[in-house]
Structure formats: C-alpha cells, structure tokens
Amino acid sequence: KNQVEQSPQSLIILEGKNCTLQCNYTVSPFSNLRWYKQDTGRGPVSLTIMTFSENTKSNGRYTATLDADTKQSSLHITASQLSDSASYICVVRASNAGGTSYGKLTFGQGTILTVHP
Amino acid sequence: NAGVTQTPKFQVLKTGQSMTLQCAQDMNHEYMSWYRQDPGMGLRLIHYSVGAGITDQGEVPNGYNVSRSTTEDFPLRLLSAAPSQTSVYFCASSYSLTADNYGYTFGSGTRLTVV
C-alpha cells in the first residue's frame, strides 16, 4: 500500500531559527514528490515539485531534498518568519506509466509548524 | 484573480439532507478533483474528472456524486448527508493529469458539519 509518513507531527520554533521537516514514502512506481504549505483555513499551496533525478530544489527560504534510493525527502526552512506558521504537506505522485495508480497522489498527514516571536 | 473558487465556505446540514458543493476554475484546466481532509489524516481523493463528460471514483467515493458538464465546473453532491461526512472539502485542478510536473491548484475549502 502506498504511504507517506511525515515527522514530526508538530514543531514549535522561534522566529529566525531554521528547521527541517521529514517525509518518508513507499509510493511505487515513483513519479514526483511535492511539498505544499497550507495556512489555517486555506487550501494547500505548492512550494516545490521534485522528480526522480532532482536531489535539491529551492523556493526562496524553502529548500527541499530528495533521496529516491532511501525514499526520503526533507523540507528545510531557513530564517523562519511568523508567516511560516502553517501545515506542511508532503505529497508523492505515482507514475502514470500504466497500472491502476495512474497519476494518483498520496498525501502525508502534514507537519504543523508554529513560529513564535 | 484566476484560480479555483469553492462555495460555500461553511455549511451545516442535518443528517439525511442533500446538498451540492460548488467548484469552478478559470484556468482551462482539464483535470479537476475533490478531496476531503480529516484531522490527523492526509487528503483523500473522492472523485476526479479528466475532462468534460468524464468522471471517475477516487478512494472514498461512497455517498458522493459528481458530474462535469463543462470544463470550468465540477460540483460535488452529497446525496444523504451523514455525520461521517463532516470534513473539510477541497477542490483541486491541474492542467493535465498525464503531465507529471504540473502542480495542483487548490480552492480554499468548504467546511461541512453534519449534525
């Protein structure tokens, strides 16, 4: 069964500090991995999309890494801001090269990040 | 602003009532989908559509119906609401289901409570 597990479930940090969120997955065959940010009461917004061949991708203060061999990804947030308080969701897409998992997305349960002043 | 628009934002239903959650996108996306988000769980796919007139079931379709008569609209119908359908519902669209690297655009959600 395709699964995406995120850790920690929740995290509290002080403004200006860095943090790293983890994502482990068992989705196969793998197509890409996405990180989304979801503010309270809003829909998820895409931060990065990484394919099999990409090890690192940055979007401002957000840097995602992918190790397709160990099926792990991380999202590193640098110099955190109060506006970074949100849920961060790891999403893995199965390959659409035939089979029943045609383009299917598997969502992690999210990591709730709280940034305190 | 271009994007995915969901209405209503909040809704309270009595058990057994029916209703339709509306979703519209103005990006000419061919792929649209409905998810539900429950506490402590990842988003789960209810139904999806790869184009006007084409719909299919996701992983939790029971109790929900969809139709897609136009590219822009993808309403979700609750036939007979049950307390287990209390959730936050998100509509999402994408340019293509087959192109791997296209991101999804999500609406802002509908918070539904069934009493």
- In angstroms, rounded to a whole number, what is the distance separating the alpha carbons of residues A64 and A100? 28
Rg, chain A, Cα only: 14
Contact residues, chain A, for B4 at CB < 8 Å? 43
pLDDT of residue A94: 83
Sheet of B64-66: strands edge to edge? Answer: B4-7, B19-25, B76-78, B64-66
B28 touches A: beta carbon within 8 Å: no
- Side chain identity at residue B30, one-letter code: E
- Side chain identity at residue A14, one-letter code: L
Mean pLDDT by groups of 10 residues along chain A of 117 residues: 93 98 92 93 93 92 96 98 98 69 79 97
pLDDT, tens only, B73-92: 999 999 999 999 999 999 99
- In angstroms, rounded to a whole number, what is the distance separating the alpha carbons of residues B18 and B34? 17
- Side chain identity at residue B29, one-letter code: H
Angle (CA) A64 B33 B41, round 5°: 55
pLDDT of residue A96: 63
Task: Quickly count: other Cβ atoms within 10 Å of residue B75's Cβ.
Answer: 17
**Positions of chain B with pLDDT lower than 50, given as ranges:** none
pLDDT of residue A98: 52
A7 touches B: beta carbon within 8 Å: no
pLDDT of residue A51: 87
pLDDT of residue A105: 85
Minimal CA separation from B102 to chain A, in Å: 8
Among candidates B26, B28, B35, B31, which has minimal Cα distance to B3?
B26
Minimal CA separation from B41 to chain A, in Å: 5
